[in-house]
Amino acid sequence: MRSSLNKKNLEVKIGGMRLKNPIMTASGTAGYGEELSAFYDISRLGAIVLKGISLKPWQGNPPPRITETPCGMINSIGLQNVGLKTFLKEKLPFVKKKSDVPVIANILGNTTGEYAKLARSLDGEVEGIEINVSCPNVKKGGMAFGLDKKAFGKLVGRVRGDIKKSVMIVKLSPGAQDIAEFALAAQEEGADAVSLINTIPAMAIDINTRRPLIKNVIGGLSGPAIKPIALRMVYQAARAVKIPVIGMGGITTGQDAVEFILAGATAVAVGTATFINPSAPLEVLEGIEAYMSIHGVKGVAELIGGAVTGCS
Amino acid sequence: MRSSLNKKNLEVKIGGMRLKNPIMTASGTAGYGEELSAFYDISRLGAIVLKGISLKPWQGNPPPRITETPCGMINSIGLQNVGLKTFLKEKLPFVKKKSDVPVIANILGNTTGEYAKLARSLDGEVEGIEINVSCPNVKKGGMAFGLDKKAFGKLVGRVRGDIKKSVMIVKLSPGAQDIAEFALAAQEEGADAVSLINTIPAMAIDINTRRPLIKNVIGGLSGPAIKPIALRMVYQAARAVKIPVIGMGGITTGQDAVEFILAGATAVAVGTATFINPSAPLEVLEGIEAYMSIHGVKGVAELIGGAVTGCS
Amino acid sequence: MNTRSLRSASTDTDTIQPAHLFKARVKENIKVSGRFYILKATPETGFFVPAPLPGQFFMLGLDRRKDPLLKRPFCYFRVRDGALEILYRIVGKATFLMRELREGDRVEVLGPLGNPYPLPGWGKHKKPLVVAGGVGIASVFPLLEALKGKAVLFYGGRSRDELVLTDELQGMTSELHLASDDGSAGFKGAVTDVLADYFKDKKKSDFIIYACGPNGMLKAVCGMGLRGYISSEEKMACGIGVCLGCAIKTRSGFKRTCKEGPVFDMDEVVFE
Amino acid sequence: MNTRSLRSASTDTDTIQPAHLFKARVKENIKVSGRFYILKATPETGFFVPAPLPGQFFMLGLDRRKDPLLKRPFCYFRVRDGALEILYRIVGKATFLMRELREGDRVEVLGPLGNPYPLPGWGKHKKPLVVAGGVGIASVFPLLEALKGKAVLFYGGRSRDELVLTDELQGMTSELHLASDDGSAGFKGAVTDVLADYFKDKKKSDFIIYACGPNGMLKAVCGMGLRGYISSEEKMACGIGVCLGCAIKTRSGFKRTCKEGPVFDMDEVVFE
Ligand SMILES: Cc1cc2nc3c(=O)[nH]c(=O)nc-3n(C[C@H](O)[C@H](O)[C@H](O)COP(=O)(O)OP(=O)(O)OC[C@H]3O[C@@H](n4cnc5c(N)ncnc54)[C@H](O)[C@@H]3O)c2cc1C
Ligand SMILES: Cc1cc2nc3c(=O)[nH]c(=O)nc-3n(C[C@H](O)[C@H](O)[C@H](O)COP(=O)(O)OP(=O)(O)OC[C@H]3O[C@@H](n4cnc5c(N)ncnc54)[C@H](O)[C@@H]3O)c2cc1C
Ligand SMILES: Cc1cc2nc3c(=O)[nH]c(=O)nc-3n(C[C@H](O)[C@H](O)[C@H](O)COP(=O)(O)O)c2cc1C
Ligand SMILES: Cc1cc2nc3c(=O)[nH]c(=O)nc-3n(C[C@H](O)[C@H](O)[C@H](O)COP(=O)(O)O)c2cc1C
Ligand code: FES
Ligand code: FES
């Protein structure tokens, strides 16, 4: 009702993809949409980003896989996933049936060839393909590509050729010494957008058993704890590139999301917050709308990159 | 009293420096020892690390300089300090009078030459010299050295020659893509120890004014939020080098400190926690002693690097 | 397969409605003994959708402060006078803070979640036998109620202090066997020893077992050649199946404790 | 120099003992009006070391949970029946949570900290004039008490709701001038306008000014050619001088609000 009185334009564009609002799920925190759709109508999201998939099913890492840390959590799921085939046959049809908003697949391979094959198979099947080169939890591939500028450029360039119909998003690693460089490299190789940040490699030890609280020793840190780091990286990346930036890392409220948008994000993803409240993405959306009402902002576009930082 | 019943050996060695226990203050969180000595006897610490100093006095960055974030804080003090001369004339004599434990100066320059000059002037005047190449809050110098492996190696090598009597500690930047590499480079260039981590570049925005909450836009994140990242880096650094590692980043309790020691730290520093409770370093010390009592640990040395991580 | 036949005798989990996130007001928070407390909280809506079943759990959040960040899983213990009751043991950060909850405080609850204990088909003449270790008693409490006094309960804990509600349990079971590590109540030793002893002169196939407790106990129970169900504990982030954090090793790969469990067929789980 | 002579007439801050960290029990936490509350907490030791002086402040921590992480600065408002009282306004994370404190809750307090208002040398025949904006009234409240009813108070706020304790203040001052942004109490407009009006027919050098309030107000007061002191607010991490986070620009470079302040000579501070 409020929206009819005070019409706000929440729409944003990522490449050729129109999102009715800037809120996405973060890959790996919303499964394939099945569980969340029991809690809310996932069609209310701007886009749905699904759990990362690989060519073959992966069983993932041994437990314990998660542990809580101050204002954050470490995970080492190790990309447990059903593999491309089951994804296309079972998971994708379900989420498409349940929603009418863009679906973004998140892919991870051990080699450039695997990424390319995944990209080819998904091209046109989903609205967006997010290339995950920043997973701290798998041995081969993953982060290796995200931290080696040469390998990164080559991978993005190669996969670009295989994505003709979908929007191509490259998910950057927060481990990069200079995030702007990687964002720029992705843009140069033709990516339609970059997303960041993935989790930050981290560790916790149980002092009673003297064992790591994550079986794999090192996992990835997510949640509010990393928000200030993520925001800084989004700011740096957004200033470096012209393509849209999708921001994520510790977003739990509408205020957090507005911070990311002001820092330069065109859209934002909600991850760990979903674990605290399955409907967190919608609460974030409502928070953005409330902010826009209070501040008389007519369209999200007005906010993107709107932080006043010139005068320092 | 407890310690006489159940004698524990808390002593650790950093280069030629004997610390009666592994607890230090973190540079920039204890001033020059003046204020804290009103709260407790600073001689109870293992060592006192003073606020960073430069050749000439620096006025520091304009306010606002600090802001709180989830389980952490961002600061951009910009190395406000009295300069070498006043340091030697006023600050150092005071802290030496107030305590009989090793004093560690923290130095920062704009050029290799400045670092060298600071090192020469302080050599023998303090028990330890910590080379800060990882401050995110100064324009020149600082982090530039901490992220460029060549410049880093050259700086450490050059300054090494100027430190003949004091123990030389190199404070690493968490921005390094591969922290082990930098730790190793410091060792190769002759550093007696490495310390880590410094604060992580981060940002926060006031969505009402749309201005950054830190005047300088980007500041450094510290506190419990970064603990899991710091612990991982200490673990990686400690596995890479033979020289002692001094661990810091979000330590607020004895348990936190034990985690760092198990991960490979020989000593630990308490920073942001001091802002919540001026006596935090002593509480941390007492927490370590309690842990040792409960687990029948006779000496801290038994704990160093004792995390069981082989079997993953 | 037998597993399937046991399952099919059970409550059909597919018909369970989705869980809900609700706020509840603390009505009471009382110490039971030692480190055990009972928290009673009334949903602000006044009711539960759907009604919780034995073996299910709730995710409980103290508030929206970010430390602790995640909700914590607690078994459905019982509902009385419209209030959800949780039996909890102080072990760490969140449970320590839970102790400080007072009448009128608000908590946020998600649930009921997970699969309940499949009840034995009543015609099957299998005797239900329940094994609980420590705070595992919370999980089997509503099961004992559902079994209407017919079950034999084996209940172990560290000491008398940590064996709670024994008077009540006496009236809810056909036999109650206690064990404690220090011998301060019941048998001195592991509850699984008492169980092994019990089977010395009995036919295992006459029984159906339900067990909840620490991993060591579950492993021992599963190694005894019995048939039945265990409720397992694994750290959880989401409780609803989206994070894959609560993986537990089974014969058919990793399964989610929160979604495929927490109740698993004894044959399914692989202990390491 | 005049500044120094004013200073020297003041309480000698060098003799102030170091502050202490203490736990206190909440005795009462009451709403005054609008977003203003008073928290009363009794130190567990029963007394303060040293006794707080007008203009000083305390750092208050809700608990040792890590979100919020840092303690927050609050002015010494008053001590009654052995309880430290803090007048606070809900603005964000910590103050929002403070509102939920209840009798018996424990808080952690560090203080008293900082330099008090220098009292006018009584022989000097300067009339004390106090200016307070918003929650700045908390800071000048004990000053008004120390000035024993002799001061003229100019007190501004957003609305009637945000002008608190006016009855009490009436009895503590020789004159009370109110101003509110919306005109719901006193003059409609800025308190500094009332102040400027007051000086139309008076000699500024007959007065000594004390001001506490938002930066805009302080800047205006400092621009009026008066002499006296302001208490400034800057975000703080430590409150004891070790973090250098609370820097404020002065004629002689950055100074620490917590250590060299929060009370500064009006001439010293540079507003941007
Ligand atoms: C399905 C399920 C049902 C449960 N039901 C109950 C119940 O009814 N009553 C009750 O008291 N407890 C129950 N638990 C355990 C309860 O969730 C943990 O005790 C609680 O999460 C600990 O939180 P904390 O912050 O106090 O401890 P933390 O500070 O997180 O940890 C303290 C210690 O407890 C261990 N721990 C933490 N979480 C778990 C967990 N999920 N499972 C096992 N160990 C853990 C940690 O490894 C550590 O050693 C249940 C757990 C699960 C998975
Ligand atoms: C010396 C001193 C004495 C003070 N005395 C009182 C008092 O007696 N009563 C009272 O209600 N408040 C007082 N304040 C202000 C009080 O410290 C802040 O309102 C409080 O820290 C806000 O905490 P928060 O977590 O609720 O707000 P946050 O969530 O941290 O911030 C909310 C808003 O308040 C602003 N803010 C935060 N901290 C400060 C600060 N230290 N100064 C100014 N603005 C701030 C933020 O920029 C933001 O706009 C005093 C401040 C100082 C420096
Ligand atoms: C349990 C878990 C699983 C994740 N799985 C993936 C994944 O499969 N692919 C991916 O690109 N990112 C994955 N991520 C990273 C998130 O998408 C997101 O980048 C990160 O968690 C930061 O956002 P947050 O702080 O809001 O969670 C995962 C994160 C978590 C916590
Ligand atoms: C306010 C502040 C000032 C600091 N100043 C310095 C400094 O001068 N030199 C330095 O090497 N590190 C400085 N640091 C970094 C700390 O020494 C420490 O490495 C970092 O804060 C992480 O530890 P913590 O999380 O315990 O605070 C500063 C940190 C803070 C918060
Ligand atoms: S707790 Fe997240 S999948 Fe089970
Ligand atoms: S608040 Fe730390 S120096 Fe003032």
In the set B17, B82, B135, B285, the catalytic residue is B135
Rounded to two decimals, the pTM is 0.95
Spatial CB neighbours of B45, under 8 Å, sequence gap ≥ 6? B21, B23, B24, B25, B99, B101, B281, B282, B285
State yes or no: pLDDT of C15 exceeds 60.
no
Helix/strand/coil (H/E/C) assignment for every residue in chain B: CHHHHCCCECCEEECCEEECCCEEECCCCCCCCCCHHHCCCHHHCCEEECCCECCCCECCCCCCCEEEECCEEEECCCCCECHHHHHHHHHHHHHHHHCCCCEEEEECCCCHHHHHHHHHHHECCECEEEEECCCCCCCCCCHHHHHCHHHHHHHHHHHHCCCCCCEEEEECCCCCCCHHHHHHHHHHCCCCEEEECCCEEECCEECCCCEECCCCCCEEEECHHHHHHHHHHHHHHHHHCCCCEEEECCCCCHHHHHHHHHHCCCEEEECCHHHHCCCHHHHHHHHHHHHHHHCCCCEHHHCCCCCCCCCC
- Nearest-angstrom CA–CA distance, D181 and C79: 53
Q: Do A200 and B229 touch (CB under 8 A)?
A: yes
Tell me the mean pLDDT in the region A155-180: 94
What average pLDDT does range B79-88 have in this prediction? 95
**Within 13 Å, how many C-alpha atoms sit on residue D50's CB side?**
13
Q: Which residue has the tokens 């790996």?
A: A28
β-pair type (D228-231, D263-265): antiparallel
3-class SS string, chain D: CHHHHHHHCCCCHHHCCCCEEEEEEEEEEEEEECCEEEEEEEECCCCCCCCCCCCCEEEEECCCCCCCCCCEEEECCEEECCEEEEEEECCCHHHHHHCCCCCCCEEEEEEEECECCCCCCHHHCCEEEEEEEHHHHHHHHHHHHHCCCCCEEEEEECCHHHCCCHHHHHHHCCEEEEEECCCCCCEECCHHHHHHHHHHHCCHHHEEEEEECCHHHHHHHHCCCCCEEEECCCCCCCCCCCCCCCEEEECCEEEECCCCCEEEECCCECCC
Q: Which CATH architecture has domain D13-113?
A: Beta Barrel (2.40)
| C73 ligand 1 Cβ < 6 A | yes
List the one residue out of A26, A20, A24, A3 whose CA is nearest residue A300.
A20
Average pLDDT over residues B72-92: 95
Confidence of residue C46 (pLDDT cuts 50, 70, 90): confident
Output the 3-class SS for A190-249: CCCEEEECCCEEECCEECCCCEECCCCCCEEEECHHHHHHHHHHHHHHHHHCCCCEEEEC
Question: Tell me, what's the pLDDT at D5?
Answer: 35
* Whether B71 is catalytic: no
By three-state DSSP, how is residue C20 classified?
A: strand
C9, pLDDT greater than 50: no
> What's the pLDDT band for B311 if we cut at 50, 70, 90?
very low
Domain boundaries, chain D: 13-113, 127-265
Give the residue from A207, A219, A228 showing the smallest Cα distance to B251. A207
Q: Does A264 touch chain C (CB under 8 A)?
A: no
The number of the ligand nearest the C-alpha atom of A249 reads 3
Nearest alpha carbon to residue C174 among C152, C148, C141: C152
Taking the domains of chain A in order of start, what are their residue ranges? Answer: 7-59+79-199+222-302
Q: What's the pLDDT band for D105 if we cut at 50, 70, 90?
A: very high
Residue with CA at minimum distance from ligand 1 atom 7:
C74
Is any atom of ligand 1 closer than 6 Å to the C-beta of C57? yes
Chain C: touching chains (3 or more CB pairs < 8 Å) = A, B, D
Q: Does A311 touch chain D (CB under 8 A)?
A: no
CA nearest neighbour of D263 among D156, D140, D163: D140
Whether a cis peptide bond, with omega within 30° of 0, leads into D68 is yes
Residue at token pair 């911070």 = A259
- Does B30 sit within 8 Å of D247, measured CB to CB? no
Listed range (B153-167, C116-130, C164-178) with the worst mean pLDDT = C116-130
pLDDT score of A223 more than 90: yes
> Using CB atoms, which residue from D238, D242, D247 is nearest to B80?
D247
ipTM of the prediction: 0.94
pLDDT of C205 reads 86
- How far, in Å, CA of A234 to CA of C10, rounded? 51
CATH, range B7-59+79-199+222-302: 3.20.20.70
Pocket test for ligand 5, best of C242, C254, C260, C263 (most atoms within 8 A of CB): C242
Atom number of ligand 4 nearest to Cα B227? 25
Nearest C-alpha to atom 14 of ligand 3 is from which residue?
A28
C50: closest CA of chain D, how far (Å): 32
- Residue C241 CB–ligand 5 contact under 6 Å: yes
Q: Which of C138, C223, C201, C166 is nearest to C209 (CA)?
A: C223
Spatial separation of the C-alpha atoms in residues C138 and C118, rounded to whole Å = 17
Of all ligands present, the nearest one to the C-alpha of D237 is 6
What pLDDT shows up at residue B4? 46
* D16-D20-D26-D29 Cα dihedral, nearest 10 degrees: 40
Both tokens of C193, joined, read 């020893």
Q: How confident is the model at residue B142, as a pLDDT?
A: 60
Indicate if the pLDDT at residue D1 is higher than 70: no
Query: What integer pLDDT is reported at residue D203 of this predicted model?
Result: 87
The amino acid that residue B82 corresponds to is V
What confidence score (pLDDT) does residue D125 get?
A: 76
Is any atom of ligand 5 closer than 6 Å to the C-beta of C68?
A: no
In this prediction, residues C193-207 reach a mean pLDDT of 89
Q: In this predicted model, what pLDDT tens digit does every residue of D193-223 receive, in sequence order?
A: 999 999 889 888 889 999 999 999 999 999 8
- Nearest atom in ligand 4 to the alpha carbon of residue B81 is 8
Q: Give the residue from D20, A213, D9, D117 showing the smallest Cα distance to B227.
A: A213
- State the count of interchain CB pairs (< 8 A) between C and D: 9
Interval B185-204 mean pLDDT? 97
Average pLDDT of the residues of chain A:
93
Is residue C12's pLDDT more than 60? no
For the segment A80-117, what is each residue's pLDDT rounded down to a tens digit?
999 999 999 999 999 999 899 999 999 999 889 999 99
Residue A142 has pLDDT above 80, yes or no: no
State yes or no: pLDDT of A277 exceeds 50.
yes
| Overall average pLDDT of the D239-248 stretch | 96
> Least CB-CB distance to B70: which of D61, D67, D235?
D67
| Second-level CATH architecture of D127-265 | 3-Layer(aba) Sandwich (3.40)
**Which residues of C fall within a CB distance of 8 Å from D65?**
65, 67, 97
Average pLDDT of B199-221?
Answer: 96
**B 203-262 near D (Cβ less than 8 A):** 223-224, 252
- pLDDT score, position A26: 98
Q: From CA A278, how far away is CA C242, in angstroms rounded?
A: 9
In sequence order, which ranges of chain C are alpha helices (DSSP H)?
A: 2-8, 93-98, 137-146, 166-172, 191-198, 215-222
pLDDT above 80 (res A291): yes
Q: How many other C-beta atoms lie within 10 A of the C-beta of residue A104?
A: 26
pLDDT of the residue at B3:
45
pLDDT score for A8: 84
- In DSSP notation, C66-82 reads SSS-S-EEEE--EEETT
Closest in A204, A263, A307 to B228, CB measured: A204
Q: In the β-sheet with D20-33, what is the strand arrangement from edge to edge?
A: D72-75, D57-61, D106-113, D20-33, D36-43, D83-89, D78-80
Chain B: list its partners (3+ Cβ pairs within 8 Å): A, C, D
Residue B59: Cβ within 10 Å count: 13
Of A35, A73, A77, nearest to C240 by CB-CB distance is A35
- Does ligand 3 come within 6 angstroms of the Cβ of A281? no
Give the distance, in angstroms, between the CA of residue A67 and the centroid of all CA atoms in the same chain: 21
pLDDT of B79 > 80? The answer is yes
Report yes or no: B222 and B75 within 8 Å, Cβ to Cβ: yes
Pocket test for ligand 1, best of A65, A66, A68 (most atoms within 8 A of CB): A68
Distance A225 CA to ligand 3 centre (A): 14
Gap between the Cα atoms of C174 and C127, Å rounded:
11
Q: How confident is the model at residue B137 (pLDDT cuts 50, 70, 90)?
A: low
Give CA–CA dist C150/C174, Å, rounded.
Answer: 5
According to the model, what pLDDT value does residue C111 have? 93
Distance from CA of B68 to the nearest CA of C (A): 13
CA distance A111 to chain B (A): 21
Tell me the C-alpha distance between D122 and D240, whole Å: 31
For position D8, what pLDDT does the model report? 35
> What is the band of A141 on the pLDDT scale with cuts at 50, 70, 90?
low
Closest-CA distance of chain C to residue B201, Å: 21
Contact B59, B79 (CB under 8 A): no
CB-side exposure of D218: number of CA atoms within 13 Å?
Answer: 26
Q: What does the alpha-carbon distance between residue A205 and residue D265 come to, in Å, rounded to a whole number?
A: 51
User: What is the DSSP code (8-state) at residue A89?
Assistant: I
Q: Is the CB of D132 under 6 A from ligand 2?
A: no
Ligand 3 centroid, distance to A247 Cα (angstroms): 12
Burial category of C217 from C-beta neighbours within 10 Å (exposed 0-12, middle 13-18, buried 19 and up): buried
Mention every residue, 6+ apart, whose C-beta is less than 8 A from residue C15: none
Average pLDDT, chain C: 89
